[in-house]
Structure 1
Amino acid sequence: MHLEHVNLVVNDMDAMLKFYRAAFPHWRIRDQGDGDWYGKPRKWLHFGDDYHYLAFNDNGEGTNRELTGHSVGLAHFAYVTNDLTAVIARLTAAGFAIAKAGAEEPFRKNVYFIDPAGFEVEFVEYLSDLPAERNLNQAKSKEVL
């Protein structure tokens, strides 16, 4: 079993595509169209590869949840990369700033960006192939090792 897609309601599909095209230059628009969502018209778009995609729906209203608050909702989602430096370079070249540096960890590097719809996206590069090390966080590392 694996996650196939995440469906995000947004208010600027072009801005979302700019961000995710910089993060995933090998992805493409897989499908798109118009529809109706509970009585409100919407445009939708699937952006990804043959196995995973993000669905964008452009009929969003208001703003995303305050990420520093404690409201129920999506905190962030993460993607694994083999080259975190390249992801950072592409996103910053496209005009997106790092929102939060990742924790100092011995077996991974990570960084957080905020996409144009206000979703926090983590990018992580693992420095070990061993699950016990990859899943270890520094706060526990001293007691486990």
Structure 2
Amino acid sequence: MYLEHVNLVVSNVDEMLHFYKAAFPHWSIRSEGRGDWHGKPRKWLHFGDDRQYLALSDNGEQPNRNLTGHQVGLAHFAYVTSNIAAVISRLENAGYSIAKPGADNPFRKNVYFIDPAGFEVEFVEYLSDIPCERNNDL
């Protein structure tokens, strides 16, 4: 079993694509269209590869939750990479800055970015195959 997709409602799909194309240059638009969600028109698309994708729908209302607050909602989601330096470089070259660095840990490198819709996205490179080391709290 694995997570296939995350469905995000955003205000601007094109801004989201700019960010995620930089993070995942091997991904592509799998499908797209227009629809109606409870009386409101929406453009939607699926951006990913053969196994996983982001489902993005536009025309969202209101800002994302305050990431420093305590509201119920998504805190962040994470992607594992084998080359975190390359991900950071691609995102910075596309105009995005690191929101916060990850903890200093001998078994992983991680970093957080904020995407255009205000979602916090973690990228992590594991330096160990041993689960208790990968998931420690050093």
Identity of aligned residues (%): 73
Show structure 1 runs of 5+ residues with no match.
139-145
In the alignment, which residue of structure 1 is the partner of 2:113?
113
The number of residues matched between the two structures is: 138
For the pair 1:22 / 2:5, whether they are aligned, the reply is: no
In the alignment, which residue of structure 2 is the partner of 1:103?
103
In 2, Cα distance between equivalents of 1:34 and 1:98: 33
Deviation of 1:10 after TM superposition, in Å, equals 0.5
In the alignment, which residue of structure 1 is the partner of 2:74?
74
Deviation of 1:116 after TM superposition, in Å, equals 0.1
For the pair 1:5 / 2:5, whether they are aligned, the reply is: yes
Deviation of 1:129 after TM superposition, in Å, equals 1.0
In 2, Cα distance between equivalents of 1:41 and 1:122: 31
What TM-score comes out, normalization by structure 2 length? 0.99
* Amino acid in structure 2 at the alignment position of 1:39: G
SS in 1 for 2:125: strand
Show structure 2 runs of 5+ residues with no match.
none
Deviation of 1:131 after TM superposition, in Å, equals 1.2
SS in 1 for 2:34: strand
SS in 2 for 1:98: coil
Deviation of 1:136 after TM superposition, in Å, equals 1.2
For residues 32-60 of structure 1, the C-alpha deviation after alignment (integer angstroms, 9 at most, x for no partner) is 00111111111100000000000000020
SS in 2 for 1:61: coil
In the alignment, which residue of structure 2 is the partner of 1:87?
87
SS in 1 for 2:68: coil
